Copies of this chain bind each other. A is one copy, B any other.
Amino acid sequence: MDEVFKALADASRRSLLDRLHARNGQTLNELCEGLAMTRQAVTKHLAILEQANLVTTFKHGREKLHYLNPVPIHQIGERWIRKFERAKLVALGELKRQLEERDE
């Protein structure tokens, strides 16, 4: 779980996920196109995404194909974000009131 959050913390990595979301199964070189980064930098980012299980790869000849795995993202939605969404309605309305209570 921590690895997923860490992986998502970087904008370049999120944009790689976006690219795979737009077209799944791209090679390393395809994913490098148009990025202001060396291939090796992209490799490192993809390795981090792979270790967080956000991306799965398959070797196909001399190419490496990258596939998006949306499951961990979904889990963060379920296990983490939903918990705080319940608080959403209560929070801001209560805010002032709780503060004023302390003033008595």
Whether B11 contacts A9 by the Cβ 8 Å rule is: no
Counting every copy of the chain, the complex holds 2
Whether A60 contacts B9 by the Cβ 8 Å rule is: no
Residue in chain B with minimal CB distance to A67: B95
State whether A102 and B60 are in contact (beta carbons under 8 Å apart), knowing that A67-B95, A70-B87 are contacts in the complex. yes
Residue in chain B with minimal CB distance to A65: B99
Binding site secondary structure of chain A: helix
CA of A74 to CA of B92 in the docked complex: distance in angstroms? 13
Tell me which residues from 81 to 101 in chain A have a Cβ below 8 Å from any Cβ of chain B: 81-85, 87-88, 91-92, 94-95, 98-99
Tell me which of A17-25, A29-37, A39-47 binds B.
A17-25
